[in-house]
Amino acid sequence: MTQQEIETLWVKNRLTVAFRFGDIVRVTNSEHAGKSGRIVALFTLDPYPTYVIELMDGSSVVAVESDLKSVEQ
């Protein structure tokens, strides 16, 4: 599946993943642990759903789904 196909299915809510575009999350594991931001892309599905997160300072990081926790808005 191409990146474009993944993004299209994700935006149309046709993939079984934990997070959607715009969800606010906190990184719980990795060198970015404790940082919060907004989901801006689903990068890949294999071997694990991996997202691009735009942090509050404007930078971005990539993290796997299991290293993220939803933040209530």
pLDDT in tens, 5-51: 999 999 999 999 999 999 999 999 989 999 999 999 999 999 999 99
Domains of the chain: 3-70 (2.30.30.30)
> Long-range pairs for 66-71 at CB < 8 Å and ≥24 separation?
66/29, 67/27, 67/28, 67/29, 67/30, 67/33, 68/18, 68/19, 68/25, 68/26, 68/27, 68/28, 69/25, 69/26, 69/28, 70/18, 70/19, 70/23, 70/24, 70/25, 71/24, 71/25, 71/26, 71/36
pTM, whole model, 2 decimals?
0.90
Confidence band, pLDDT 50/70/90 cuts, at residue 73:
low
